[in-house]
Each structure stands twice: as C-alpha cells, then as structure tokens.
Amino acid sequence: MSNIIEIKKLRKVYGDGVELVALDDVDLTIEEGEVLAIVGPSGSGKSTLLNMIGLLDTPSGGEIWLKGQNITKASPKERARLRNKELGFIFQYHHLLPEFTAVENVMMPLLIAGMDKKEARHRAITLLEEVGLGDRLNNRPNQLSGGQNQRVAVARALAGHPSIVIGDEPTGNLDSKSSDMIYELLRKLNREMNQTFILVTHDMDMAEKTDRILRLVDGRIVCEMRREGDEFVSRDICRAD
C-alpha cells in the first residue's frame, strides 16, 4: 500500500506573547485505505492535527505531503480545490446547511466541484439510500434526528469520492446505538471503496475497532498501536499518562 499522507516534523504554535505549542514535531505516515483513530486528552492537539491534514489550517513548521505532493505552502485556492477533491469532513455537529434538504446538502460538495445539478442529485440520492435515508431525501436537518443528520453528513463527506475522510468526533453527539451504526457505515464504505479514514475520538470502543490508534499528548505522538488480527500491538514503548 502506498502512503497517502506523509507528515514531517509538523509544528503548530499558537499565540503571540505566550506561545502554546499545539503540535510538537509530529512525524506521521498514513497509508491508503487505512482506518486510523487519533485519541488523547482534550487540548492534546488532536483536532489541530486533523485540521492540518484536512487543509483547513496551516502549520508553523514542517511539511505535509498529500499523495506525493508537498501541500505545505499551497495557495488558499489550491487548498480549497484539494479539500473539495480529496477530502471529506464529518464533524461532531453535523454542520448541515439548515435551509437545504438532505439531498441538497449531499449535493453541495458536488456542486462546488462544478458538477451538473441533475447528475449531483442523482449521486446524492444513491448515497442517501446507501446510508439508509432513501425515504428522507427532502427533509431538512430540523426534521431529522441527530443520528439521521449525522448519516446525511457522512453521505455528504463521501459525495465527491474523496480519498480521505476526516472525522472529528463523528459520533461525539450520538447515543451508542447511533454511534455503532455510523461506525459500521464508515467501515463498510472503507472496505468497499478503499477510502482512508482518519477519526479523532474520545470513544475508545470505536477507536478499538480501527486499524491503528495514535495517542497524542501535549502535541506529541506518545503511543502508536497497530491491529494485528484481534490484538493491538504497540509499535513504540507507550508511556502511561
């Protein structure tokens, strides 16, 4: 498998006077088709790392390579294009556009990409059927439950055939039943389409279903565990924290 993301000595420092190091020389390689969980306490830099990979934020130092291309210093326009083409986002809050119906929300990344409306609608309907919302196409977010909205958000994240799907606490707002359902959905899509999933989560149940778990503390990767069969095996010596 080839590396889809390579991160070299990535740093992010916030603040003018008092500096806050959010990411401290992080090195990370992510393979295509991998399902990766990033865990760690609040303020450990999980979301920052995710925003870097998602091209929403820019690093203070180091490099990010996406599919063999150095995108550390890409222009805002190029980053927007890559977000549209290569990335799909699922957030803790679904962030659906409240005025738009489920199908219109799923169409949105496709329309941004310049796809014809009719074609986009067709693809959106297929996706919504896949996430089990074929009968909720024309409902607005306020007419759907939390779990249903998150499924719409999943469908939207997948609409543009992104190579990487980023989830920032994708199930953080859901009950365990809905959480399981969302995770199973992601896993199924991963198997079918070989998409890469990078998930930030507090939910260890979910993390333990992934292929690899990274633990971040104070902006550093302190532990990395890989699945081998049913077991997780630590690659490095994992510090207790």
If DSSP codes are grouped into helix, strand and coil, which group holds residue 116? coil
> Cα dihedral sign for 173, 175, 177, 178?
negative
- What's the chain's Rg over C-alpha atoms? 18
Q: How far apart are CA 140 and CA 189, in angstroms?
A: 24
Instruction: Output 80 or 204, the one with its CB closest to another protein.
Output: 80
Instruction: Output 26 or 87, the one with its CB closest to another protein.
Output: 87
Instruction: Output 140 or 187, the one with its CB closest to another protein.
Output: 140
Sequence-distant contacts of 64-72: CB under 8 A, at least 24 apart: 64/5, 64/6, 64/7, 64/8, 64/10, 65/3, 65/5, 65/6, 65/7, 65/8, 66/4, 66/5, 67/4, 67/163
N-to-C CA span, the chain: 32
Minimum CB separation from another protein for residue 240, in Å? Answer: 31
Quote the DSSP letter at residue 141.
Answer: G
Footprint of another protein on this chain (CB under 8 A)? 51, 54, 56-57, 76-77, 80-85, 87, 89, 91, 93, 95-100, 104, 108-109, 111-113, 117, 156, 160
Instruction: Output 99 or 135, the one with its CB closest to another protein.
Output: 99
Instruction: Output 4 or 82, the one with its CB closest to another protein.
Output: 82
Minimum CB separation from another protein for residue 153, in Å? Answer: 9
